[in-house]
Every structure is written in C-alpha cells, then in structure tokens.
Structure 1
C-alpha cells in the first residue's frame, strides 16, 4: 500500500511538471528557391494528431514538448523532420522535391522519367484505378487517360471491353492497341480461343500500373504492331527489405441490368393487334414481360489472397485469385482461378537482377445463349411462360422464335481455358563498363481450350435438328528479345546519353479443332495457323544541359504474313523536348513545370486476320454440302468426292503504314499542385489493309484483303490534374481529361475515284443489308440512309424520303452519308476525397457528337412485326405507337439518334479501421450508377453504333473488405 501511495504521489507531481514542460513554438515556412512564404503547409507532431498548418503568410504556431519531432510536409517539397529543443521561434525552409517529375515511366525496351519523356506517354497507377468487382483489367483505366476510350461489350459475365487509342488507324485490320505484359507482347487477336476477353488472364488486383504510349514517336520502337498505340502493363512484384505481409481481399457484388428494349406490354399488344385484324382467340391469357423473365440478379465474388516479403537481395509476391461472376442473363457464369507469382533476385552487388513472373489461370465460361434476348423482345406478351401441361409455351410456326426460357434451359454451352503466362528477365550491368547494361527477356503465353455446345432443335419446326458441337484449340505465343543499353553523363559536353539496341523474335501458333453435328450435316475440321515476326531495333536519347531533349528510334520488322518481296518494313521515330523550366529566364516564373514536346514517327499494321493472304491456297470441302457426287456404289448409295477450292490472294500484300505528328506542352503551377498536358496530333494511314470487292473474273473471290486507300485522323487531348487540398485529416485531388477527335477516309480505291464507296455495318431485317458506308471524305463509322420526310406535326411519313438527285424516284442513289457512330469529343472526370479514415472517389465519363442506329426499332417498330409473320404473331418495338409504320423502313434516318451521354461510371466509399496489428478497409462501390442521355434506345454507348440484340450493361453494387496483416 505504501508503494502504491508513493507511486501515486510521484504521478501527481510529474503530471503538472509535464504540462508545464509544453512550450509554444512559432515561425514561418518559406520556399528555398525564392524565399517566398508557403501557405497550407502541414506542421504535425510525429506520431500524434496534434498539428496545424501555415496561414496565407506562411506563419504557424504550435504547442510542442521538448524532444518531440515536428514533421513539416507540403506537396511538391521534401518533407522535413525536426527534433524540438525548446526554441521559441523556428523558421523552416522547404526545398522543392523533384520526385514527381523524376517518376520513372516505362517506354518500349526501357524507361525514362516524366521530365525527360518526349513522346505522348501517360501513366495510370494503382491508386488511380477504378474500384469495385472489376474482372476485365481494361476497366481499371476507363475515363482515366486522355485519348483513350474504353467501351465495355455489355453486361455478360467475364465481358471485356474495346480499347481505342486516338480512335484507331485502320479499316479492315484491327484497331486494337498492342498490349505488353511485363515485357511480353500478347497476341493482338486474343490470347485464347473461346474467351470473352484476352486480358481476363491478368488479375486486376495484381496490376501495378498501365503506361499508354499514344504517339508514333513513342510507339515506333514496336514497329509493325504499333499504329493503334501501345499499352504496357506492369504487375506487382513486392519490394526489397519488406517484412512479411499477408493480404486478403473480398469483393461481393450484385449485378442487375439498368434498361430493357422498349416493346409493347400485353394490353397494348392486344389492342393494336386486334385493331389490325388479329383474331383475339389467338391471344393468350397472360401478361408476360419476357425480358423480365430472362434477366435476373447476378451474384459475384472476387477473392484475393496475397503474400509478399522482401530481403536485401530477394523479394517475392504470391497471389491466389478466385472470381465467380454471374451475368444477368439466366445461366450466364464466368469463373476464374489464378495463381500469380513473381520472384526477383539480385546478385553481384545488384549488378545482376533476375526476375521471374509466372501465372497459371483456369477460366470457366458457362455461356447463356444470347439469342434468347432477341427472342424475348419478339415473343408474344400475351402468352404464358408454360402451358397448362407445364411445358414451355411455343408459337408453333416453323420460323417463329423459340420461347426464350426454353432456349436458356436447354442450351448447354461451356468452355474451359487453361492458360500459362511466364516471363523471365535478366538485367546485367557489366563490371568492366559500368554504364553498359544487357537485358534479356524470354516469355511464353500458352493456352489450351476445350468446350462443347448442345443446342435444342427449334421446337416450332418438326424438320429442325438439334446441334451438337465440340471444340478445342491451342494458342502458343513465344517471344525472345534482348538489348544493350548504354547510359552515361558526359560532363565535357554537359549531355546525358541513353542508347539502346537489340533484337526481338516472336512466333504465334494457333490450332483449332471443330467437331459439329446438326442432323445429316457433319463438320470435322482442324485449322492450323502460324506466323512469326523478327525485329531489330535501336533508340538514342540525348539530354543536353538538362534543357534540350532529343530521342530517335528505328525498328526493322520482318513478318511471315507477307511475301519475301514485301516482308521487311522500316519504322523510324523522332521526338524533341525543351525543358523551359530549367532556363535561367524562367527561374522567377509562376510555372513550376513547363516543357514543350514534338514528335514524328512511322508505325505499321499487320493484323489482317489471315496469315497466308499472299499465297495461293486450296481449301478442302468440310462437309457433304461442298462435295460433288460421282455416281453410286454397288448398293445404290451416292458417292461424294471431296473438293479443293482455290482461295483468293494478293501476292503484293504489304504493310499498312501510319505516319503521325505530335506537338505538346506539359505544365505545372503552384509547386505542381496543378499539372496538365495538351497534346495535338495528326495521323495518316496509307496502303490501308481493307477487304474490298474486286471485279468479276479478276481473282478467285469477289472480296479480297488488299492494300487500298488512306485514312487521316487528328485530335487534341487535354489533361488536368489538381491537388485541391492536402491536410492531415483532409485531402482532395482531381483529374479531368478531354479529347477532341476527327477521322476521315481520304482514299478508298486504286483509281482515286472519289465516288467509290463500300457498304458496311450489317443489320437485321432482310438479307445482306448494311447501314454504314466507307467513302472518301467521311468518317469510317458514317451511316448510309434515306432522308426521312415529316408531316406538319413532325411525324415521319412512311416510305417518304427526300429525292436527293431530283429524278422523281427514290432509288439507292438517294441514300446519303449521314452522321457517325464515333464521338467528336469524350471526357473523364475523377475526384478523390479523404477525410480522416474515410475515402470517397468517383469517376464520370462522357461522350459527345456520337450517334446510334436503333436497329431493333427499324426492324420491329412496325405493324408487319405483328401481323406479317409466317404463321405466328410477334411483339413489335414500341416506336410503332409514334410512327404507326406498317412495314420496315430500315434505311430511314429517323432511326439515327443522337447518343451523347454522361455516365457516373464508378463511385466508391471506404473506411480504414485504425487497428494496430491488422489494417482493415471496408468499402461500398457502385458502377454504372446512372446515365444522362437523350437516346431512347437500350444504351447510348454501342461500340459499332448499331443497337441490335445488345447484351444490356449492368449496375453493380459491391461490398469490399481488405485485410492486411
């Protein structure tokens, strides 16, 4: 008891003594470069929440105990820690931190810093990604980068997205960018057969950052595959000297569609059908919304378990990822199990670094039959789902649509994909020449797929056959490249040299096997495709006096897709930069960063969808329908002989070449609290690889892929980043990007005929109809329509079109190029807020000047959709109530609708619990929360601009839990 009283007495004495020891310190925080006061600087006692910030004049006052550490931090400046020793006044001078500008950015076969980059290069890091239950990696950066437009293909389970960098540069060839994952370029045609998305093999939670190379001066180092830009993906690999860290993440989600096709309900249908002569006895007694019947709430879960540790010379990261995602269409399911590993080991005092990245993935797709969407749109709404016997209701006529629920229940379509992606890298600095490094990269992307599809016979047609099909395949992509890099600061000429030269070889092998049976028709076929690419490349960069930048690159590519005469192509690139901020006359400027850039380059295109277009090939017949009967056997049965058919070819097929010019300015204000970039580009593609008609008898086919024509595009990209607030308890940063773009076909025939055009953009309604046009002077996505005539009340007059050529008759000559599917401009707007342990971020995307052709309305928005069907009645599109059309008006411009939109794409609210041993963050995320648009169809964001049987996008709500131990 005595001891306790003594201790209590000591405490009573010490507490006031401690309180009395606390002192008040004040001072001014200034900028070392110009001695100007800095407002808003955080002045915090380390390890506590006690602190303040400087006022407009840079002054602060703080209560502090002797021996405590004062932490002074401000965006763009090096943080200082000062031990308090009883001073009454403590003035602090902060030095600008160049780390932001010195941030390393990957470029082709090397790296640079933001301040030294001369090409149009944009990096999007992990902290900037969209949040939620993201399965397709490309969705991480939707709306995040100027000039990059990502359009999801719909709401299907495991669905990917279309990536367009500066709008694409081709017609018939691919417009997808080249994607390089940890140094391994993947096949631009997709990494595995049967997959909805080539990038699904990459776990989004395993990605460190994306680097987008946009202009030709940056992409020319990738030569023949870089016309549509390049995306470099770097995955997480852990860090050196890192304690063991265990992480578990869970994202549980629900998914529902946000809209359905506008059709008549049962009462509207009965009224309209009966008024036009349909016997009421044919109506059912139900009121069925067939789209509600086929769409359900999809449930999903994503699990990530990660372990990482770093030693002085070795670090590793191991991740297991499980994804289960249901699509809203009943029975649609995607599952992924992935094991992702990375190992980094450093030898010889860090002169030798070995990196192994390996991942094994198994994808499982249970495909729901997308045809059920069209069946649900057309099916009679008065019919019940099942008849009185419990069987699915059918319409009975041979050409009638099947009951969509019957289709979904009786179709079994599955695909299993096993894929391994591995990359081994050696990085070695020579002991005898410290400025010289050698880098070797060996990679493989190997995938096997195995699947089957069983589809029932049309229950309305007794002569129809069920379908049974098996498929399997193999994709193998192997790559080996190496390069030498010499980097040295030559003081005598005040110049830093960075020189790279190397060689690359890549081979693609694809085998597909098909075994299909539908009644007497049997198809057994094996296709093997193989192509290779060999390349030599070099780049030289010069940083003169830390002010003037020059970079030149050259690549020589040889592709097996072209004949020996046209096999090799050359792709140069050149860019310059001027770091004005380092000029003496800019020292007192209000700019904190200012750089001018300009670039030029030539890139290529070889993804033409075929490997042997320059060779004369013969194709064997694949089923009895393509064989020829030669007599009969002894039993009187016909004898069929297999045929060999010559295929069309162009022996002069060669590279598609794209030349691009780029000028830009990078700027920063207020110590880089506000930064931005403006890029302007002009691009021209010549020797277009396009599939065009040829005169009869001039080749062995009526359509051939050849080099013809040219296309130009131009645009302006604006990106602005701001740190609005940076306090200890509150932070707010924002990003806004705006892109203007324009594209035009300038030539489409070898004869330079300005009136030559090619119809494209196939639509439903009739056979072989197209709604878009390729024609010189127009965007490739331009629509080709008749100009609709309207009455005095603004209603369209059926079959009445403008006689454009004045010949008093409406013919194909009166169809006109009108509007386009690609936008004139698109935006992304992101805000990130932080308040104590809460965080909130959201991203808006917008598109302006784009149009959509509503093919569902043009095909089915008429009375013929009800009464004109052979032996059955069907539901029309609800537009019939406005137009009162009796028949199809497929080519009327009334169905071309403006599709501007602003979409709240992603919003996430999180809270980090202040536990000591375990870090826990809980989050609630919603995607596709709402869309503001005047378009009255299903969705204003349709990739090709034609709405027909589109799988609706979903609104996802995601609960996330992330534990770090």
Structure 2
C-alpha cells in the first residue's frame, strides 16, 4: 500500500510538472493560395492523443512542449508537420493537395479514383479552364482534352460551339454528346427553343469541373444516348465547416471581327468598266466597304456575386450573375441574368445527405438579320449607305438585295428564354450495413421562350410583303433515377467490390407555336412532341489485390420513339492492370504505370423531334390540299381538310456502336510527368440515315431508315508536366494530340459499293452540293472536278480532267477529293506562377483538314456581276483578279483549300493583391489573338468545311477583377 501511495505521489508530481512545462499556444490556419482561414483543420501532437481542431475562423489553442511535432491535416490539403520551438503563437498555411483533389472522378451513377478507372475518362477542373469573358461553357475546355474537338459557330453574341468526342458516330442523327448536369441528362436536341446554345443556362463561373467519358466501356452505363460520348458537368457547392465567403467578379470585354470576306474594293469594282459586258451606268460616286459598315467593335460585361458558407451539417452556395455580350454585327445582343444555388444538409450522423441544386436564368436575344452578311459581301461598293436626304440607298431592282445596313437597323427579331434547371439528390448509408448506399436523383429542366420577328419588305420590290412571325415554345424534361451501391473490402480475398444497380425514367415534352403573316399568307401552327425513356442499369467493379481491375456494365433501355424495336441492350466491360503495384516494380523508373482495355456497345436514338412510334399525318393548311364535297345552300363549294400520311418505317431501331479501347497511363519522376496513350476502334451499324427508296415502296421517296455502317479509329496522346515547383515559381504544362480517321463502310440496303448520296448544299445555284456520302470515304469528303492548269500554273477556265476517258466532261468525271475532318488536332496549355503573378495560355491546332471556299467559287467570276438578273450588278470576290474566270466554276477542286491552322486561343495575365482579409486579382485576357494558316478565306476552322455566309469569329480583349473576402 505504501508503495502504491508513493507511486501515486510520484505520478502526480510528474504530471503537474509536465503541465507546468507545457505552453498554451494559439494560432490560425489558412489556405496557402487564398489566405483565407480554414475551419475544421485537425491538429495533433505526433505520437500522442493531444489534439484539437480549428474553429469557424480558422483559430485554435493547444498545449505544447518544446520539441513537440505538431501535425496539421485537412481533407484535400497536404499534411504539414512543424516542430514547436517555443512562443505563444503558431500560425500555419497549408496548400491544396492537387493530386488528391483530382483523384475522385465521376463515371456516371457513381464515382471512382483516377488510379482505379478502367475506361477512357478525362477530368478538366476549374483551375484548368480557359479564361476570359466566356458565356458558353463548352469554351472553357477547348483544347484541354484529347479526343475532344470544340468548334464555335462564329462570333455571334451568346454563340455556343459544336462538341465532337472522337469525331461522332452518326450520319443523319446527332453527333452531339450526351450532357449530364449535376446528375440530370439534358435534351440532346437543344434544351431550349429560341437560344443559340443549350448550355448558356449554366453560368461558366459556377462550374467546378467537366468529366468526359469517351469510350464505350465508360459510356455504356448511359446506353441508348452514349454513342457520341458523355460529358458530366458538376457545379460548385459550398464546403463543410467553411467560413462565410463572399466573392465578386467582373469581366469587361471588347470584341472585333478578325477577318472579312475578300471582295473587290470600290476602285477594283470600277475597273470592271473595261469589260464590254459591264454597265457603267449603275456605278455610284462613293467608296464603301460594306462589311465595315455592318461590323462594329462590340462590348460586353459579366458580373458574378457569390456567397457561400459551411457548418458541420449544412453548407450552401448562392451565385447571382448577369452577362451582357454584344456581337460585332449591328444589333446583335445577348443578355443573361441568373441565380444559381446549391444546398447540402447532412442528417443521421452524416449517413443521410440531401442536396438541392437550382439554376434559374432569364435570357434575352436580339438576333440581327443574318441576310445582311451576304448582302454586304455582294452589294455594290460604289454606293453610299445613305443619300443626301438621309435615306438608305437602295438599288431599285426587284431582284437586288436590300441595303445591308437597312436590313440590320429596320428589322428586328427578339427572343426571351426563361429556364429552370433543378435537381434534388438523396444519398443514404443504411444503418444496418454502412457499405450499402441508396441514391435517388430527381430533376427537371423547364424552359419557355417567346419571340417576335418583324421584317420590312424589300424596298427594291414594290410587290414584296412585310413578314411578321410571333413564336413561342415550351421544353420540359423530367427525370427520376435511383440506384443502390454496395462497396466493401473482402479481406479474405483481398478484393474491393463495388456494385451498382438502378432504374431511371425520363420524359421529354416539346411544344412549338408559330403565327406568321406575309401579305395574304397566314400560317398558324402548333407542333407537340413527347417521348420517354425507361432504363435499367447495373455495374460491377472489382479491385483485386490493388493490382487487377475488372468492371462490367449492363443497361437495358426502352424508348417510345420506335414502333417495333423499343428495347435495346447495351453491355460494356473493361479491365486494368496497375503494374506499378507489382512487387517487382517497387524500385522501377515509373511512379505510375497502368494498362487498361475496354469494350462496349452504345446506342443512338436522336432522329429529330417529330419521329415517334406511330406514323404521322399532316393536316392541310391554307386551303392548299383540301377536297371539295358538294356545295352549301347558296351554291358555294364546301371544302374538307385532308390528312396526308408521311413516310414511316415501322421497323426503325437504334443505331448501335461497338467500341474497343486500349490505353496506357504512366507517371514519371514522382508523377511530375504523367500521360496517357489511348487507342480506339469503333463500328456503328444500323445507321439512322435518310436515303432514297424505290417509287411506291413507301409514302415518300426519301425515308429515314436503318441503313449502312461507319468505322472510325484514333490515337490520343496526353502529357502533363510539372516543370517547376518552388516557393516563388511554378510552371506546369499540358499537351494533347489526337489522330483520327473515319469512313463509311456501307450506305445502301443492297451493299452497292458505288452507291452515294450527295451532301453539303452550296451557294451559286439551286440544289447544288459539294460533298458526298460514299462507302470507303469520310462523311465530309468533297465531290469535285479536277482542275487543269496551264504551264504557268494558272487554272484554265472550264478545263477539267477527263477521268473516265470518254472525251467529254460529265458528272461521271467528278471525284471524291479531300475532306473537312482533320487528320489530327492538338491542344497546348502552359500555366506559370511567380509570386503573385500568374500567366497561362492555350494554343489549338488542326491538321489535314480542307475547306471549300464557296464565297470565292460563287462570286469570284465576271458572270456573277454582269449576268445578274435585272439591272443589278453585285460585287465580285477578289479571287476573280487571280483567275479571270468568266463563269462560275462551282465544282472545281481549285476552291478546295488546305486549312491547317495553329491558333493562340487564350492567354491571360493576372496579379493577386493580398490585403488583410481580402484578396483582389486583376487580369488581362486575350482570346483568338492570331491564327497561323495557309487558308486564304475567312477562317480555316469551319465545322462542315464549307465557307459561305459565315459569321466571322472575334478577337476579344478582357479586363477582369475578382474580389474575395
């Protein structure tokens, strides 16, 4: 007993001595990048249980002894250890662990880690986005991901962009990827009538990341809509235990067109008087560049105000934004006002998480008269804009176009789009089995549009009518899906099992109304389309010994679009081998090495809004197809409206795309250099295409049916490097290159290899085309005569190669020649940071693609000027000065021009001012600063490869200010 009391006294003495030796230390933990306090940071003395955490203001207090090693850890941040050497204050800054933050990637109805992904999945996060006054979200990732090509439609206000993942898989059906926003798949047909871009309802500043699913093993979980790839967009949400954060951002911009169509100047046009066929009496006394008259320097401004805060069980984020962007064409304006909010609530000891995300936008479009672009190209440059009385100069000929400035100033077309995208998610971990989760996602995308278009009659034509069009529409997309997920580690076999099974239902409703008046012609019409998709899906993944990965996907879809083939089955499978986790690779040169392969079947069912499981009957309108049945009591004829049956294929079914994928992911120098080499092969069968059918075989001579096949193959290489990483200077880079080729392998029901369908309508005549679909060729291949040149290399007018040797030039001598699709395209990004300065830039390039210069082919000749109907003499393209062609040579390969290019797409310089509790970043950004190309037309980057009436792209200069406090 005495010994025990002595021991107790000794312990009490030592314990009190240790308390006396300890010092109460206080401090604050901040984010190294933003200098903002971090709540909830875990702080512990290494090797002990002595610990605490920071409060909502990032502050803490802990008792320490000299020499204690204090460990600061926080989810998503690099753990920091500091040896305490004395003092009552210890302030610490910790940095985000980029590798850890990027480790989790969405894969559709779930997530995985980068190292465990077996499909072709690529994530582009907020810090990697292109900068500037961006209103179209797809422009954030242009040039950032291998296999993904984004082409803007031009410089119009609010213009979006064409997205192609691995080139697309269809012909007549859409080649757009399926886009899923916070778990809600949006309508692939556009999402909202009256809008230039379906994604404009999403504020780019509100997006956290894009995840691109490229191969079939990754996209098969989305089944019937995934042949063209899937893009998952996740918007920003507040963080748990986050202090109140207020952010304000402003971007102001100026935009100018980078190029215009090269037509004859006023002096060059006057020189045509030397031609005997030219009528000099039509010449004016002015020198007007009509394209200068219709394009102006456009201004824009984007405002973002964001408030976010997080508690232990609740966090929220709310963003108010307003974007105003002018297009360079007179009268072109886009405005968006939006409110985005995200709320997360955790209940039942964090086993239940409820998330509500809502985006409400009000968009206004002022569409200019697009005909003014063509009118400005063709209008007589010797005429002035207005006469001495201030009236618009018109040419007086009924067949002449109206004054281009008149078209823009006196006509109007305004559209308003109100859109609500909302999504409610329930995620629950069962109390009796924590490895089992239930996830429910209910969403709606609702849009209404109203618009009015009023066009004055052509002043040159006394018989022309004014045109009035009042239009409106409604798009409603509702979705409900749920799934169960079980993920557990089976210790007995050293395997992680991840199993998901679920059900989904989605319905689309579209209504369009028009009320058009043009003189005595009145058209009032309402079109309604409604279709639904029902789905069952499952996925099982296995990680064996942290080395071998297996994954299998199965989806069963039912659509209301088809009559007799409503059900489709879409399987997928993939494997992976984490080679660096093998024992014999422990001291290897690689810090990461993974081999993966995949296979899958996906579908395509987007054949237009009017196609359904039942045949269509079109009612007669305006007494144009009515039948007389007798007369009334006054002897007047009685007409009965008729219903006209349309062409219909009751056996229509899905397109089916089978894709194979093989890839190698690698990392060197502790992952300072990482990369992926990814190859794929894809076959699409039962193409949804509109083809001619024999007379009497159906109710139309052109029928949408399943016919033909295509194949495509490609190689994608992506490299990411951290070149410099230090206290004051950082430099990282990304380079990606994609090689691709695509061809039609079958196009007719009879397997006729010589059968082809002409495509690609052009200006210069009625019904002319310049491209063709034909087995063995890319779908964008041009169809031309081979031009003959003289000894000086000058083209000989009307002289073409007699391909078949019959001593005459006929349609049989037209040949498939070149294509609009590039053989390869690249993206190259660099990010620099020196102290408070940051600089980043992105180049994009395309190689092996060609463009048909329709502006030159249709206008680059004398006949366009002197043979115009009536007394009107339009302007000519300046290529006439080189060729001296008398007549149009629309189908000459002379106008198929190589369109390789390298474009400085985006460059941004910024400086961050660190104030007491506030940070201010000022930036200067330029977009589309220059293009290196041999193409002498308007722009080498045109999606369909035909330059005609193209709205020129702009060069933007943007000043940005971002304030955080």
Aligned 1:746-825 pairs, distance under 5 A: 746-825=745-824
Cα deviation per residue 1:278-326 (whole Å; 9 max; x = unaligned)?
2333210000000000000110000000000000000000000100000
For residues 936 and 579 of structure 2, the distance between their equivalents in structure 1, rounded to whole angstroms, comes to: 50
For residues 257 and 162 of structure 1, the distance between their equivalents in structure 2, rounded to whole angstroms, comes to: 20
Alpha-carbon distance change, 229 to 356 in structure 1, aligned in 2, over 3 angstroms: same
For residues 437 and 425 of structure 1, the distance between their equivalents in structure 2, rounded to whole angstroms, comes to: 13
Aligned 1:224-263 pairs, distance under 5 A: 224-263=224-263
For residues 71 and 882 of structure 2, the distance between their equivalents in structure 1, rounded to whole angstroms, comes to: 69
For residues 316 and 102 of structure 1, the distance between their equivalents in structure 2, rounded to whole angstroms, comes to: 22
Alpha-carbon distance change, 238 to 635 in structure 1, aligned in 2, over 3 angstroms: same
In the alignment, structure 1 residue 161 sits paired with structure 2 residue 165: no
- Is residue 666–residue 675 contact of structure 2 (8 Å, CA) maintained in 1? yes
What's the offset of the Cα at 1:80? 3.8
What's the offset of the Cα at 1:84? 5.9
Aligned 1:239-638 pairs, distance under 5 A: 239-563=239-563, 565-627=564-626
- Is residue 331–residue 366 contact of structure 1 (8 Å, CA) maintained in 2? yes
For residues 752 and 899 of structure 1, the distance between their equivalents in structure 2, rounded to whole angstroms, comes to: 34
For residues 472 and 710 of structure 2, the distance between their equivalents in structure 1, rounded to whole angstroms, comes to: 38
SS in 2 for 1:268: helix
Partner in structure 1 of residue 3 of structure 2? none
Cα deviation per residue 1:880-925 (whole Å; 9 max; x = unaligned)?
0011111111111000000000000000000001212211000000
For residues 638 and 857 of structure 2, the distance between their equivalents in structure 1, rounded to whole angstroms, comes to: 47
Deviates more, 1:100-109 or 1:372-381: 100-109
- Is residue 102–residue 115 contact of structure 1 (8 Å, CA) maintained in 2? no
- Is residue 561–residue 611 contact of structure 1 (8 Å, CA) maintained in 2? no
For residues 455 and 68 of structure 2, the distance between their equivalents in structure 1, rounded to whole angstroms, comes to: 75
Aligned 1:22-41 pairs, distance under 5 A: none
- Is residue 772–residue 779 contact of structure 2 (8 Å, CA) maintained in 1? yes
For residues 290 and 80 of structure 2, the distance between their equivalents in structure 1, rounded to whole angstroms, comes to: 66
In the alignment, structure 1 residue 717 sits paired with structure 2 residue 698: no
For residues 205 and 68 of structure 1, the distance between their equivalents in structure 2, rounded to whole angstroms, comes to: 43
Deviates more, 1:800-809 or 1:283-292: 800-809
- Is residue 252–residue 959 contact of structure 1 (8 Å, CA) maintained in 2? yes
Partner in structure 2 of residue 112 of structure 1? 112
Alpha-carbon distance change, 142 to 312 in structure 1, aligned in 2, over 3 angstroms: same
- Is residue 614–residue 652 contact of structure 1 (8 Å, CA) maintained in 2? no
Alpha-carbon distance change, 638 to 326 in structure 1, aligned in 2, over 3 angstroms: farther
- Is residue 647–residue 698 contact of structure 2 (8 Å, CA) maintained in 1? yes
SS in 1 for 2:224: helix
Alpha-carbon distance change, 933 to 69 in structure 1, aligned in 2, over 3 angstroms: farther
List gaps (5 residues or longer) in structure 2.
1-31, 38-65, 87-95
Aligned 1:852-863 pairs, distance under 5 A: 852-863=851-862
In the alignment, structure 1 residue 132 sits paired with structure 2 residue 129: no
List gaps (5 residues or longer) in structure 1.
1-41, 48-65, 87-95
- Is residue 786–residue 893 contact of structure 2 (8 Å, CA) maintained in 1? yes
For residues 700 and 454 of structure 1, the distance between their equivalents in structure 2, rounded to whole angstroms, comes to: 37
Alpha-carbon distance change, 833 to 635 in structure 1, aligned in 2, over 3 angstroms: farther
For residues 722 and 98 of structure 2, the distance between their equivalents in structure 1, rounded to whole angstroms, comes to: 16
- Is residue 180–residue 186 contact of structure 2 (8 Å, CA) maintained in 1? yes
SS in 2 for 1:267: helix
What's the offset of the Cα at 1:388? 2.5
Cα deviation per residue 1:122-148 (whole Å; 9 max; x = unaligned)?
000000000000000000000000000
- Is residue 368–residue 413 contact of structure 1 (8 Å, CA) maintained in 2? yes
What's the offset of the Cα at 1:77? 11
- Is residue 193–residue 473 contact of structure 1 (8 Å, CA) maintained in 2? yes
Alpha-carbon distance change, 829 to 309 in structure 1, aligned in 2, over 3 angstroms: same
SS in 2 for 1:205: helix
What's the offset of the Cα at 1:576? 0.2
For residues 920 and 629 of structure 2, the distance between their equivalents in structure 1, rounded to whole angstroms, comes to: 76
SS in 1 for 2:287: coil
What's the offset of the Cα at 1:420? 0.4
Alpha-carbon distance change, 435 to 77 in structure 1, aligned in 2, over 3 angstroms: closer
Partner in structure 2 of residue 738 of structure 1? 737
What's the offset of the Cα at 1:644? 1.6
Alpha-carbon distance change, 71 to 935 in structure 1, aligned in 2, over 3 angstroms: farther
Cα deviation per residue 1:256-294 (whole Å; 9 max; x = unaligned)?
000000000000000024434323332100000000000
- Is residue 613–residue 705 contact of structure 1 (8 Å, CA) maintained in 2? no
Deviates more, 1:300-309 or 1:858-867: 858-867
Deviates more, 1:227-236 or 1:456-465: 456-465
For residues 98 and 309 of structure 2, the distance between their equivalents in structure 1, rounded to whole angstroms, comes to: 29
For residues 474 and 97 of structure 2, the distance between their equivalents in structure 1, rounded to whole angstroms, comes to: 51
SS in 1 for 2:865: helix
Deviates more, 1:617-626 or 1:241-250: 617-626
For residues 427 and 833 of structure 2, the distance between their equivalents in structure 1, rounded to whole angstroms, comes to: 40
Partner in structure 1 of residue 948 of structure 2? 948
Partner in structure 2 of residue 924 of structure 1? 924
- Is residue 101–residue 113 contact of structure 1 (8 Å, CA) maintained in 2? no
- Is residue 227–residue 604 contact of structure 1 (8 Å, CA) maintained in 2? yes
- Is residue 101–residue 114 contact of structure 1 (8 Å, CA) maintained in 2? no
- Is residue 789–residue 801 contact of structure 1 (8 Å, CA) maintained in 2? yes
Calculate the TM-score normalised by the size of structure 2.
Answer: 0.90
Partner in structure 2 of residue 707 of structure 1? 706
What's the offset of the Cα at 1:78? 5.5
For residues 962 and 636 of structure 2, the distance between their equivalents in structure 1, rounded to whole angstroms, comes to: 69
Cα deviation per residue 1:346-386 (whole Å; 9 max; x = unaligned)?
00111000000011100000001111000000000000101
SS in 1 for 2:427: strand
- Is residue 547–residue 580 contact of structure 1 (8 Å, CA) maintained in 2? yes
For residues 681 and 706 of structure 2, the distance between their equivalents in structure 1, rounded to whole angstroms, comes to: 21
Alpha-carbon distance change, 614 to 885 in structure 1, aligned in 2, over 3 angstroms: farther
What's the offset of the Cα at 1:640? 5.0
Cα deviation per residue 1:215-243 (whole Å; 9 max; x = unaligned)?
00000000000000000000001100000
What's the offset of the Cα at 1:431? 0.2
Aligned 1:868-879 pairs, distance under 5 A: 868-870=867-869, 871-879=871-879
For residues 378 and 639 of structure 2, the distance between their equivalents in structure 1, rounded to whole angstroms, comes to: 41
Alpha-carbon distance change, 548 to 631 in structure 1, aligned in 2, over 3 angstroms: same
For residues 629 and 865 of structure 2, the distance between their equivalents in structure 1, rounded to whole angstroms, comes to: 47
Alpha-carbon distance change, 319 to 500 in structure 1, aligned in 2, over 3 angstroms: same
Partner in structure 2 of residue 81 of structure 1? 81
Runs of 4+ in 1 over 3 A off after TM superposition: 66-73, 76-80, 96-102, 610-614, 624-641
SS in 1 for 2:451: strand
Partner in structure 2 of residue 212 of structure 1? 212
Deviates more, 1:863-872 or 1:295-304: 863-872
What's the offset of the Cα at 1:864? 1.1
CA RMSD of aligned residues (A): 2.1
Cα deviation per residue 1:142-173 (whole Å; 9 max; x = unaligned)?
00000000000000000000000000000000
- Is residue 662–residue 679 contact of structure 1 (8 Å, CA) maintained in 2? yes
SS in 2 for 1:856: helix
SS in 2 for 1:321: strand
- Is residue 273–residue 866 contact of structure 1 (8 Å, CA) maintained in 2? no
Partner in structure 2 of residue 35 of structure 1? none
SS in 2 for 1:653: coil
For residues 899 and 453 of structure 1, the distance between their equivalents in structure 2, rounded to whole angstroms, comes to: 37
